[in-house]
Every structure is written in structure tokens, then in C-alpha cells.
Amino acid sequence: MLTWVKNERHLDEIRKRHGDYFVLLFWGGFSQAARRAFSELKQFAEEYADIPLYAVDVQKVKGVHKEFGVSTVPTVVALKDGKVIQSIEGVESAAFYEVRLGGAAPAHFARPAKKKPKRVTVYSGPGCPACGTLKTYLRRNGISFREVDISRDKRAAEKLVRRSGQMAVPQTDINGRLVVGFDQNKLDTLLGI
């Protein structure tokens, strides 16, 4: 659960209670990026309910950010044994936080059951802006994929046309199901994002 830090005294209590590991989000209501980061971290917190996760509103709890070397919002810091072990500036996906923060947590924190990995293949072509957008999107969400350039692999191109009836790129094969174009809603559903 994501909990707000009330003041410096509250932060000191948090440090004493969670000396081995906890995560802080430095947040500001003036930042749209911070609001998005908050949403992604809430999603992360649902998966990793045992990891202590706190948010500091830099407009209400002033000056605390300096102690952690934070100069921009949003910034997420992970503390282990009282020391900053990770600092992540900007907005990332819940999947990214899962890899970076969940993986850094001590073993005694409960981790969600492993999800079966998805087999993802991206069919792309040269000079395709949507292909680049798709690949960036997958990387930002921690999804590994195999890429096939259909301009170089004619057999794959022919097979793709037989399967989907289209030569358009990008096309994404997720565990045998094809998504034509960059359709984020379908991708999110099939990938469980």
C-alpha cells in the first residue's frame, strides 16, 4: 500500500520501522509526470503489498528531498539499511518498478507468484515510426521480445500475410495471437499490463 509521509517526524518513524528496506516517491501536485508515476507505483504496490512504499509531497514536507539527493519530481528512491540503493527519476511503468524495486527488496518480502512469460515477436520494417513506438513501449514495460524485419526475411513476411491477411507493420505475435499496428489496448490486455 502507498502511504503519504505526514512530516519529518513521521519519516523518522518510517526509517526506524523499515530499516532494512523501503521505497519513497518524491511527488508534487504541480507535476503531471508525478501524478502518472503515483498511478504506476500504486499498481506496483498492489502486486508487492509487503514492500513498504511511501510518498512525500515536496510542497508539504519541505526540505526532505535534499537529504536523498532528489532534485526533480517524480523521483523514486529505494533505501536499504538506511542507504539509497536506487534512484529513478521520471515516470516508469509498474512493470519497470517491479523489476527495479521488487528485485532489489530483501527476500523476506513476499513476491507475487511468477507469471508465465509471454512469447512476443514483433514484425517490423525499415522506416516504420509505429514499429519504433511499439518497441519502445514494450521495453518501457519490461517486456522482452524477438524482432523480425520482414524486409529481410521474405519467408516470415509471406507467413505473416497468410496469418493476418495484411502486410502492414508493426504486427505483434503474443503467445500466438496477432495484433496489427500499435493498438495499446489490445497489447495491454494480451500482455497483462
Per the structure, the count of domains in the chain is 2
Mean residue pLDDT of the chain comes to: 88
Clarify whether residues 16 and 69 are in a common domain.
Answer: yes
Clarify whether residues 86 and 34 are in a common domain.
Answer: yes
Asked if residues 143 and 119 have their Cβ atoms less than 8 Å apart, the reply is: no
Percent of the chain clearing pLDDT 70 (strictly above) = 93
Cell 523489476 locates to 99
Clarify whether residues 141 and 92 are in a common domain.
Answer: no
Clarify whether residues 18 and 98 are in a common domain.
Answer: yes
Is 52 within a domain?
Answer: yes
The pTM (predicted TM-score) of the whole model is 0.57
Asked if residues 92 and 42 have their Cβ atoms less than 8 Å apart, the reply is: no
Q: What is the pLDDT of residue 48?
A: 84
- Higher-confidence residue of 192 and 130: namely 130
Is 182 within a domain?
Answer: yes
Is 113 within a domain?
Answer: no
CA pseudo-torsion sign 25, 97, 70, 11: positive
Residue ending a domain, choose from 72, 102, 132: 102
Clarify whether residues 129 and 177 are in a common domain.
Answer: yes
Clarify whether residues 89 and 147 are in a common domain.
Answer: no
Residue 117's pLDDT band (cuts 50, 70, 90): low
Clarify whether residues 13 and 84 are in a common domain.
Answer: yes
The crossing angle, in degrees rounded to 10, of helices 129-140 and 184-191 is: 30
Residue 73: CATH number of its domain: 3.40.30.10
Is 114 within a domain?
Answer: no
Q: What is the pLDDT of residue 192?
A: 80
Clarify whether residues 93 and 139 are in a common domain.
Answer: no
Amino acid sitting at position 124: S
Is 107 within a domain?
Answer: no
Residue 49's pLDDT band (cuts 50, 70, 90): confident
Asked if residues 26 and 65 have their Cβ atoms less than 8 Å apart, the reply is: yes
Clarify whether residues 95 and 136 are in a common domain.
Answer: no
* End-to-end Cα distance, the chain: 19
Domain ranges, residue 126: 120-191
Q: Which three cell numbers stand for residue 132?
A: 519504433
- Higher-confidence residue of 107 and 17: namely 17
Clarify whether residues 73 and 42 are in a common domain.
Answer: yes
Clarify whether residues 68 and 24 are in a common domain.
Answer: yes
Is 81 within a domain?
Answer: yes
Examine the pLDDT at 108 and tell me if it is beyond 70: no
